[in-house]
Amino acid sequence: MSFRGLSAHGSAPERGVNAVYMASRAALEIEKLHERLKYDEFLGKGSVTISEFISGSPSLCAVADYARFHLDRRLTWGETKDSAVAEVKEAVNNPDSKVEVLWYDGLAFTGLKYGMEKYYPTWKMPEDHEAVQTGVKAFSELFGKAPIVDKWTFSTNGIATNGIHQIPTIGFGPGNEVMAHAPNEKTPVSDLVAASAFYALYAQIL
Q: Tell me: pLDDT of 129 over 90.
A: yes
Q: pLDDT digit string (tens) for 79-112? A: 999 999 999 999 999 999 999 999 988 888 999 9
The tens digit of pLDDT for each residue in 43-52 reads 999 999 999 9
| 159 & 106 share domain | no
Residues 99, 42 share a domain: yes
Q: How many domains does the chain have?
A: 2
Considering the domain boundaries, does residue 39 fall inside one? yes
Are residues 103 and 136 located together in one domain of the fold? no
Mean pLDDT, the chain, integer: 95
39-87 pLDDT, tens digit each: 999 999 999 999 999 999 999 999 999 999 999 999 999 999 999 999 9
**Same structural domain, 8 and 80:** yes
Choice among 145-149, 151-155, 168-172 with the minimum mean pLDDT: 151-155
Instruction: Indicate whether 24 and 73 sit together in one domain.
Output: yes
CATH code for the domain of 91:
3.30.70.360
Domain that holds residue 100: 2-117
Check if the beta carbon of residue 61 is closer than 8 Å to that of residue 9.
yes
* CA 28/CA 21 separation, integer angstroms: 11
* 92 and 18 housed in the same domain: yes
- Same domain, yes or no, for 49 and 80? yes
Mean pLDDT of 3-30: 97
Is the Cα dihedral 10, 11, 16, 18 positive or negative?
positive
24 with 91, same domain: the answer is yes
Give how far Cα 165 sits from Cα of 105, 119, 133, 136, 161, Å.
20, 13, 21, 23, 5
For the segment 120-143, the average pLDDT, to the nearest whole number, is 96
Backbone φ, ψ for residue 134 (5° rounding)? -65, -40
